């Protein structure tokens, strides 16, 4: 039967040695945790980030840094080329960079705000996946960052929910298009994760009617997720353990949507 695979030893399945990787927004929070895990698995990771402090993070982790505003096509392409190295190929793209907003009521969100949200969270992810796919061969993979907000919406985060729902749709479409080339495309949909971004927005979210503490209390595990929880999911999707997983949205939320 076609598709029979060798019974590889477990260490080989999680070994990413020499795999050229780009993680957008990899300087802090979830992105930094993902970069750390992929480097530990042997991947050659480049962090693409607009924050100069990400250069220090890259050095600490053992990654390469590429200054990059993902909404700038030229900077994004250069970051991908940096990650590719001399052979011009990319093995793993983690489309992590994005913005987490506090929109307030949908009647208050401006067109400019919605445009920015879609430009960063959808258009830039599309561009990164497109440019990465041009440089990928069979065995490569793309991991997009969605959110549980894409699956159930949420009051006062309408533009964010819409942007992440688009990421889910793109993931499934890309998986169908790139699958015949042996390139897998999956997404992660985190729940509430304790990151600097969420902490910074905590009070504003509550004022907008989204009580993060109540969301955590409703979680069967009664805890907020940590960046490394998402990083472990990314490592699974990047390595050989998930070789037959394609077009999937992996929810990492402690069971809050169970």
Tens digits of residue pLDDT in 35-61: 999 999 999 999 999 999 999 999 999
Reference 71, options 57, 50, 92; nearest CA is 50
Residues 186-203: tens digit of each pLDDT: 999 998 887 766 666 666
Residues 8-23: tens digit of each pLDDT: 899 999 999 999 999 9
233: CB partners within 8 A, 6+ apart:
188, 250, 252
Average pLDDT over residues 212-223: 76
The verdict on residue 109 lying in a domain is yes
Domain enclosing residue 41, as ranges = 11-192+226-251
| pLDDT above 80 for 143 | yes
pLDDT-derived band of residue 3, with 50, 70 and 90 as boundaries? low
Residues 21-38: tens digit of each pLDDT: 999 999 999 999 999 999
Q: Name the token pair of 121.
A: 């969270």
Find out whether 128 and 93 touch, Cβ atoms under 8 Å. yes
Q: State the CB neighbour count (10 A cutoff) for residue 160.
A: 24
Q: Which residue has the higher pLDDT, 236 or 225?
A: 236
The verdict on residue 204 lying in a domain is no
The verdict on residue 203 lying in a domain is no
The verdict on residue 72 lying in a domain is yes
| pLDDT above 90 for 210 | no
Please list the active-site residues: 160
Q: Total domain count for the chain?
A: 1
pTM for the model: 0.92
Length of the chain in terms of residues written: 258
Instruction: List the beta bridge partners of residue 48.
Output: 24, 66
pLDDT at residue 21, as a whole number? 98
The verdict on residue 206 lying in a domain is no
DSSP one-letter string for 125-150: HHHHHHHHHTT--TT-EEEEE--THH
The verdict on residue 234 lying in a domain is yes
How far is Cα 135 from Cα 123, in angstroms, rounded to an integer?
Answer: 19
The verdict on residue 167 lying in a domain is yes
The verdict on residue 87 lying in a domain is yes
CATH number reported for the structural domain that contains residue 155 in this entry: 3.40.50.720
């Amino acid at each position: 039967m076609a598709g029979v695979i060798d019974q590889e030893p477990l260490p080989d399945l999680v070994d990413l040695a020499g795999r050229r990787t780009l993680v957008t927004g990899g300087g802090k929070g979830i992105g930094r945790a993902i970069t750390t895990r992929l480097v530990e698995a042997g991947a050659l990771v480049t962090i693409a980030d607009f924050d100069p402090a990400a250069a220090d993070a890259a050095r600490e982790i053992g990654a390469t840094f590429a200054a990059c505003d993902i909404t700038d096509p030229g900077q994004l392409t250069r970051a991908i080329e940096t990650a590719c190295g001399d052979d011009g190929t990319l093995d793993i793209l983690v489309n992590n960079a994005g913005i987490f907003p506090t929109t307030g009521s949908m009647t208050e969100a401006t067109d400019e705000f919605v445009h920015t949200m879609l430009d960063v969270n959808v258009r830039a992810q599309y561009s990164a996946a497109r440019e990465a796919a041009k440089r990928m061969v069979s065995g490569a993979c793309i991991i997009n960052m969605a959110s549980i907000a894409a699956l159930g919406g949420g009051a006062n985060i309408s533009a964010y929910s819409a942007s992440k729902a688009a990421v889910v749709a793109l993931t499934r479409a890309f998986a169908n298009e790139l699958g015949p080339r042996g390139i897998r495309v999956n997404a992660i949909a985190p729940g509430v994760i304790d990151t600097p971004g969420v902490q910074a927005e905590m009070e504003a979210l509550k004022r907008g009617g989204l009580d993060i503490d109540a969301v955590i209390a409703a979680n069967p595990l009664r805890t907020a997720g940590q960046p490394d929880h998402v990083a472990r999911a990314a490592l699974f999707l990047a390595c050989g353990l998930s070789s037959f997983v394609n077009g999937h949205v992996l929810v990492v939320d402690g069971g809050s949507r169970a």
